[in-house]
Chains A and B, each alone.
Chain A
Amino acid sequence: MKYKIIVILIFLSLIIPITVFSITGEEIIRKADAIQAFDTSEAYGEIRVKDRFGVKVSTFKSWTRGKYESLLEFTSLAERGQKILRTEDELYLFYPDAEELIRMQGSMLRQSMLGSDISYEDMTGGKDRVSQYDIVLEGEEKVNGIDCYVLTMTARVRTVPYPKEKVWIDKETFIVWKAEYYTKSGRLLKEMETLRVEEIGGRMIAMESRISDKMKTDTETIMVINNIKINIPLSVDFSLDDLSW
């Protein structure tokens, strides 16, 4: 009898950690997506584009609501008044001297935003990634001394910006510290690295990240959020009217 109890205890000790503490790739991605979405947010930031001609800085103000809606308005002199509106299904550009809104679709989405390493297509990502990708938890690795899950995601649908992604997600905060974006055949297209995070309103937010387009030579884009407020009432309602105020 005593022998049986010992066997059961050993068996349970092996099973319990797996069932209680293990986490699946889908859950990791779901949590990573969740920490990036706010009810609302208002932020001021800048985009620093480094290329063969030097560093160009563009400043912006942005608003977000939920996972899908965002409005970005450029405030730097060269682009002053230009706006990008993302709704659940569409992406629109507003230019002060253009008499019509430009709806980005198809191959237009692959164009670079302000000559940076970020494409308009990159701004359309981040929807329900769990339903769009086959997610495999590959293992664990340290990124800059931080323990991360390593996951590969292979697209199930053709509507996502990249057919294959590899991401390194913080085991504690679920911040994405590093991501690599590939073609279907495995060619590296883009790299993203989070450089600085801050805790704001009890949530960890990526404040500075570096993106580099591997199809270009000697370029990188640093995206910085200088100031962010989350879950506050907004004066914008993410409609086309917001583009021409």
Chain B
Amino acid sequence: MTTKLAKTALRNISRNKRRSILSGTAIGVSAMAIVFLFSIIGGMTEDMAFNLKTYYTGEVRIRNIDYDKYERYNPLHLTVDWESVKDLLVDIEDIDKFVPRISFPANLYIEGSNFGAMGVGANFSLEAGFQDLDGSLKSGRLPEKGKNEMIMGAVLARDLKLNIGDKVTVMSTTAARGTNAITLKIVGLFSFPVGALNSKYFWLPLDRAQYFLRMNGGVQEVLIKVKEGVDPKKAAASISSVITNNTGKTLDIRSWEELSTSYGLMKMADMIYNFIAMFFFLLGSTVIINTTMMVIFERMREIGTLGAMGMHGKELVRLFFFEGTFISMIGAAVGVATGIAITLYVGKVGLDFTDAISGMDFEVSSILYPKLSIGKTIFVYFYSVIIAAGATLIPSKKAAKIEPVEALRYV
């Protein structure tokens, strides 16, 4: 009997092609949108994690034990002794790469006015292994060690009407808690994936930053990337014990997951993204339920005819359940496949949000690459089928209870 009903359901689908296509399309579009949305969120989460690890915290971050406590006072005198720490880090097996950095707030003195910016003192030869520095360099070259040179965010340079070859006097508070100024020549313009880095930052050689800020050989922080498969938390613990045992000093060494400012922010962002996804997910479900129910309610005359011909209520319910299931299986499959295709294409070319997020201090790249999740895609397919098939039960059960004469009155 079930086989017979299934065959009848398939025949009904092929007989009413327009209705079946419309119904299947609604399910397919919803499934496609949900797959794509999940991919965008997946891409954003992964992108944020990458940016945090590359530009802000590393996978493990080393700072002076008191730095975070006084961070809002810009305590540049609370340093990490770079010379002694780097020799120890080289011998630690868990570590893949590490870079020293000094980030500091500065004023750029241009034609009698001050413009706020952020400076980063970096060892460019080590940075080349830590991030795609050459790829981020839009024009010009990297600053050379020992020279008063800088590279500037392309957006910042554009806003300040500066270009390669121009000289800028930078003022800042020093580690000696005084002030100092130095004139740096712009030798390159960069465009990092994160918009805020391009609109606020300039980078200069580490040794010049140390000299200018009176850091006395120290650095503000050391960012570390661990080897594939190594847990950053465990790596942080082992680095901490090596440094303490060899130098007798206790430093603030934490994995990026333990840093409230970065990982906490990412977790919060992930929660917000998933909330937005859930909202769209429910919206998509409503479309599927609505389409399926409408299709059945519009077929009351047919239901009445089938009832008059002797089909029982349970058989009617099963017939429509089969119809809904078959349509949703095809619709969801096409939708999910289209969603995958769009994701793979956009994943290559990227979605450009440069103008939309320009000036926002947000660790998400201005060009976003959606990331396909196999697990979530499979889930979306089965969810769409179950929702569509389930949605047939409510109207078909109701229709099955109506007397054939009553049902035949529906126009």
Contact = CB atoms under 8 A, between A and B. Distances in A.
B183 interface: yes
A141 interface: no
A86 B17 CA distance: 89
Contacts of B178: 56, 58, 78-79, 82, 114-115
B247 interface: no
Interface residues of B, number: 24
Contacts of A97: 148, 180-183, 212
Interface in B61-114: 70, 73, 75, 77, 109, 112-114
Interface string A99-131: 110110111100101110000000000000000
Contacts of B113: 106
B177 A51 contact: yes
A52 interface: yes
B207 to A, nearest CB: 13
Interface string A74-107: 0000110010000000000101011110110111
Contacts of B112: 103, 105
Contacts of B182: 95, 97-98
A11 interface: no
Contacts of B77: 53
A32 B62 CA distance: 55
B109 A78 contact: no
A49 interface: yes
B73 A52 contact: yes
Nearest to B173: A115
Interface string B110-139: 001110000000000000000000000000
A84 to B, nearest CB: 11
B174 A78 contact: yes
Contacts of B53: none
Interface residues of A toward B: which range? 20 to 34
Nearest to A115: B177
A114 B179 contact: yes
A49 B176 CA distance: 11
Contacts of B148: 97
B167 interface: yes
A99 B183 contact: yes
A113 B179 CA distance: 8
A166 B81 CA distance: 48
Contact of B167 (A99, A103, A108): A99
Given A52-B73, A78-B214, A99 B177 contact: no
A100 B183 contact: yes
Contacts of B179: 79, 82, 111, 113-115
A98 B114 contact: no
Contacts of A105: 112
B169 interface: yes
B75 to A, nearest CB: 7
